[in-house]
Structure 1
Amino acid sequence: MSVLRPDRTSCATCGQTAGIFTCRGCSENFCLRHTNEHREGLEKQMKHIIHSHQQLKQNITGPTNDQSCQSLLQQIERWEQQSLAKIRQVANDTRDQVLGIVRQRTDDLKEQLSKLSQQLDKAQKDGSYFEDDIRNWLERLQKCQHLFQEQQNTQLYFERSSVPFISKISLHDITNDALPQSSSEGLYQRKLTKYTDDYSNSPENGEYSRGERSLRFQIEQYSRNSSILFGIISKNSLDNDNPHENPTFYGWGSKNLVYRGGDIQANYDGYKTDVQTDDILMLSIDCDRETISLKNERTQRTYVLQIDLSKCPFPWRPNVRFISN
């Protein structure tokens, strides 16, 4: 009569010797020899973790972290000094221009008044003057007054250029790259349906007075009769204004129309309403440079508008509308 014996479990390492010890961690079975080797392997991994932990702890509290911080602070210091140097240079040059122009005009005006004074004194003493002389002196005096008034009305012009005079500095913290982006910065994405869709009244819609913001929209269905509107309006504008007639609206619409604070023009700066179904359009708002841009990712065409703050003051609100019939 045969006797049934339980199946032997082989060693997970060699596969030949019986596995008489079971690891509570990995639940694998090992023979006596390979049990010791398995444990030694775990001890080596533990030592590696402890060493890495100690090394990281030293780096955090040691000079490496301080050096990294100091390097960033030094870069900021250099940027500050270079920016101040640019400002001082432009200020000094402009100051010299002001002094030179004012002195020259003042000297010229004094010379004309001196000649006129001599003629007036002589004519008054001699009594030899007539209507033509009076008329001539009056015209010359009025001309001098006009020149003086022009000098008083001289103003400085502060240029608003799309190219910044001083480069903007900001901290790029790569540890936050994977985090959800805030409502005031980054990228927002949404699909525009084939019926009426008004992002302007969406709860995600924000108000912007500084920084940059990008809004990405996908057109689910576009036809020849569709109507689109991409741009911004000032929060100060009336809510019941027709979006196409809003005096603060800057942006792009259907039929190649471009809106610039009450000025509507077709094909401005080469703009074409080249939109198709499934197109992705990105509206970017740059408050610091006072510009907005619209990019069609299919055609790679980008259109830019410079915003006149007197027509569309901060804060700005995105004005995006889509109607497909």
Structure 2
Amino acid sequence: MTSAFAVMNQCVSCRKTDGISPCDGCRKSFCNHHIAEHRQQLKNQLDTLIQEHDRLRQDVNGRSIHHSVYDQIDKWEKQAIARIQAVAQKTREDLQQTLQKSNEQLTSVSQGMTTRLRSVRADDKFTEIELDRWTKQLNALKSHMKFEANIYVPEESTSAIHFIRIKQNDTDKTSTASARASTSNHRERFADINGLAKLEDGGACVRHTDADSKFIYTRGERLYSEGRHVVRFRIENGSASYNVFIGICSSNVGFRQIIYNLAVVAGWFSNSEVWVHGKSKTNSKVKEAEQDDLRANDVLQLTIDCDRKQLELFHERTNKNQILNVNLEKAPLPWHVLLALRRQNDCVRILSDT
């Protein structure tokens, strides 16, 4: 006990025991001389710390505010702006295509309706039934014209940047479908007649009634301006191939002027003789032509491909198919189905269309 106390009261530097003072910081004992040195050392350490702090403060004050992260931020900003601009431009193009396509459809359908209405007015052959149907078609077109109000830009809330796109709501789809249904989605039937003939079964069948051997013409009710459509016909009564013509005609010509050798017409007297834009292509093989003659109950399938500007006629009995390319400059869209009959009691029926 006495020995430990003696050690605690010695100067750690010189081992003297006189005038010993303890240091509260390091818990060591020093004589009067060495305690002064110890305090000076502590002051020197403090001075050094102050100097380092001053240098650090100067470094902070003179530090450049530029940082590499700024470059990353600038890069992100440019890329984000480029993406936004690309999306905005794509959306503008989508909107332009949507409006242009709608205008083209409306123009095509309205022109066809105008031609038909004027033709019927000139022939003075219409009843309340036709007036009611045309009124519904006109109202459907008016509804379709309102589709622009149904185009909107939906918000994308899942991202910090709300990308946009063009979208049409269900009411637009409904009005569009209604407008097109009036001209494209109902079943094909014969609507107009130029000559002595009569329509039967609500326009599904046409019969030649003129005792003279002259062509009478009838055309379908539907307008074809886009897509691919198939109409099947059955020859219920027909004496020869050259007495029945099946094809299309452009809707921009008055129906009373239509004959099979006009430039706006394309079609067949079976596979034996073809008429395209006023020019005939006759089968030179007599035996083959005889095999192509139409007979009662023969079924012909007419395919109207507006997108490819083509017509196809498939003769189911002979299993022969023929394709015609249509020049839109000579026979512009939209088209009607065109049928010509030559002999009394010649009769053709529409079986189905898709």
- Structure with greater strand percent: 2
Asked if these proteins are the same fold (TM beyond 0.5), I'd say no
Relative contact order (C-alpha < 8 Å, sep 6+): which is higher?
2
Q: Who wins on radius of gyration, i.e. which is larger? A: 2
